Chain A
Amino acid sequence: MISEAFAQIEFAAPAGDISFFALFLGAHIVVKIVMLGLIFASVWCWAIIVDKQLLYTRTKRQMNRFENVFWSGQSLEDLYQTLVSRANTSMAALFVAAMREWKRSQEGKKPAIASLQQRIDRVMDVTIMREMERLENRLLVLATVGSAAPFVGLFGTVWGIMISFQAIAASKNTNLTVVAPGIAEALFATALGLVAAIPAVIAYNKYSADAARLGARMEGFADEFSAILSRQIDERTQG
């Protein structure tokens, strides 16, 4: 195993150069685990980032399209018929949920109109909450990685430097060429921690702001739609 490792180092870093691979292989086992964990965290963070970017773009596009259709003067009944058969998200889901409650209240022999307005509001609140949860799902992972990864990397560095100092003491040679590789390996852990943390923090701030904006937009639509339905309800009860 050892000889293999050395062979790999030779392959990866001829003439004693320091490559990622050599840095990783030369590190202590604890530092290796830290590095692997940080690399995994980085992969996961970027997966979330990509996912959220796609999700928010799609959501925004859907909202725009729905609003266009909604305010185009088209009959709400027709719109509902079109949408009810699909799996809807965001504003469409709000609309469908409210319309479904409205329809159900109209059906039957005794239309339950007295507290229909409250029920519709509640249904739309629940739908908004569900949508928001979907949008903000896994954003907390970014926040966690963003705050914890530097510390994890620092831990790896401290550990690696401890080990390399012990090695220096054992070798009784303080020549910089002897000291440097161990410290470089240790510092590599901090580098990985920062590599994982920086995008995570930036992405968390960006996407939580985006999610809040989308939520506000949905709430605005819900209020507007609630006002429209309330007017309808009042007209019917008076009529």
Chain B
Amino acid sequence: MRTGLVVSIIGHVVVLCWGLIAFPSAKPYSVEPVDALPVDLVPIEEITKTRIGDKTASKDNAPAPAPAEKPTEATEKAPDPGKKPAKAAKPSPAKAEPAPQAEPEAEKEPAPAPQVEPAPAEEPAPEKAEAKEETPEPPKPVKVVPQSKPTPPKHTRTTAAQPIKNRQEPKKKDTFDPNEISNLLSKVEPEGGTQTAVNEPAGLGANKATQQQGLSASDLDLLVSEVKERWNYVPDTFPPDLVVRVQFQLSRDGHLIGTPQIMNSHPYPRFRQLAEAAIRAIIAVDRSEGFSFLPRDCYEGNGGWNTVLANLKPQ
């Protein structure tokens, strides 16, 4: 028995020593490094919210920065905050040319509209709408623009309509100030986005701002890119401030209601053709896929896409 025990102990010790040396050689699995995908979590309302916040802040000291920003404006999000302040700050020069009569009304309206009940808002709207219907689209753009914007409210809800009006004012100003126009180029803005700008002059902006819900940046980009894909025009060296502003209304299932309308004009000789091409592009989108890719729950409300105002810039 003793030999057996000795042999056994020796054997075990040998095995353990072997395990000590040989066992650790477990090779790690070869794991190929995976490239990290950058993921940004962006709340849908991000853009409108940032605009709101910036507007109120920059209102005081805005004018100076505005011109400087133009060149960088290619990207939408970052520049936004800067632009608006600029618009808000320079209302007076812009107004002078386009439609002196219309503007004072427009400015007054926005203030009551957002906060007050829908009823008061509607009243001004129909009037303007009528006016617009009567007027032919392109030839008289200057006067029409300010008043015509209210028209959408008929079809859409009053809340949606008002933002549109509000919007136009700043843009009107833009159209006349080439520098500022370039900031807005090739953007589609739901009404909600600019609405706050109007509110600010009235001093009411902050309250409305929190309620706004708009399309996300990606949705806006998608919409613009869909339209631009089908926008056929003869290439040319376009003036830098050339922009075609189209307003159109959408049904809840993402289809066009009525005909898109051109909301601005430009001395550029072939502006008319460009604008009509843009309208055709929008109709083409409607016929192919429609706009149903826009999120359903953003359809109504201040930032909803029941009425879309798109700034298209030819490239």
Which residues of A line the B interface, CB within 8 A?
12-13, 17-22, 39, 42-52, 54
Contact = CB atoms under 8 A, between A and B. Distances in A.
Contacts of B1: 47, 51
A18 B22 CA distance: 11
B130 to A, nearest CB: 67
B20 A20 contact: yes
Interface of B: 1, 3-5, 7-9, 11-12, 16, 19-20, 23-26
A18 B7 contact: no
7 nearest interchain CB pairs? A51-B4, A46-B8, A50-B4, A17-B24, A47-B8, A47-B5, A20-B19
A20 B5 contact: no
Given A20-B16, A39-B12, A42-B12, A47 B7 contact: yes
Contact of B24 (A18, A42, A43, A50): A18
A50 B3 CA distance: 8
Contacts of B24: 12-13, 17-19, 22
Contacts of A50: 3-4, 7-8
A45 B24 CA distance: 27
Given A47-B4, A50-B7, A51-B1, 12 more contacts: A12-B20, A12-B24, A17-B24, A21-B20, A22-B24, A42-B12, A43-B12, A44-B5, A46-B4, A46-B7, A46-B11, A51-B3
A54 B26 CA distance: 38
21 contacts: A13-B24, A17-B25, A17-B26, A18-B23, A19-B23, A20-B23, A43-B5, A44-B5, A45-B8, A46-B4, A47-B4, A47-B9, A48-B4, A49-B4, A49-B8, A50-B3, A50-B4, A50-B7, A50-B8, A51-B3, A51-B4
Contacts, number: 53
A148 B261 CA distance: 89
Nearest to B21: A19
B182 to A, nearest CB: 51
Contact of B8 (A13, A17, A44): A44
Contacts of B16: 20
Nearest to B13: A43
A19 B19 contact: yes
Contacts of A42: 12
Contacts of B7: 46-47, 50
B4 A19 contact: no
B20 A43 contact: no
B17 to A, nearest CB: 9
Contacts of B9: 43, 47
Nearest to A14: B24
Residue picked from A13, A47, A51, A52, most chain B C-beta under 10 Å = A47
A46 B20 contact: no
Contacts of A45: 8
A50 B8 CA distance: 7
A217 B8 CA distance: 30
A21 B26 CA distance: 14
Contact of B26 (A18, A43, A48): A18
B191 to A, nearest CB: 47
Contacts of A13: 24
Contacts of A54: 3-4
Contacts of A48: 4
A17 B11 CA distance: 24
A223 to B, nearest CB: 32
Contacts of B8: 43-47, 49-50
Contacts of A43: 5, 8-9, 12
Contacts of A18: 23-24, 26
Contacts of A12: 20, 24
A190 to B, nearest CB: 16
Nearest to A46: B8
Nearest to A50: B4
Nearest to B1: A51
Nearest to A12: B20
Residue picked from B1, B9, B11, B20, most chain A C-beta under 10 Å = B1
Contacts of A39: 12
A183 to B, nearest CB: 14
A44 B9 CA distance: 8
A52 B19 CA distance: 27
A20 B11 CA distance: 16
Contacts of B3: 50-51, 54
A43 B25 CA distance: 25
B18 to A, nearest CB: 9
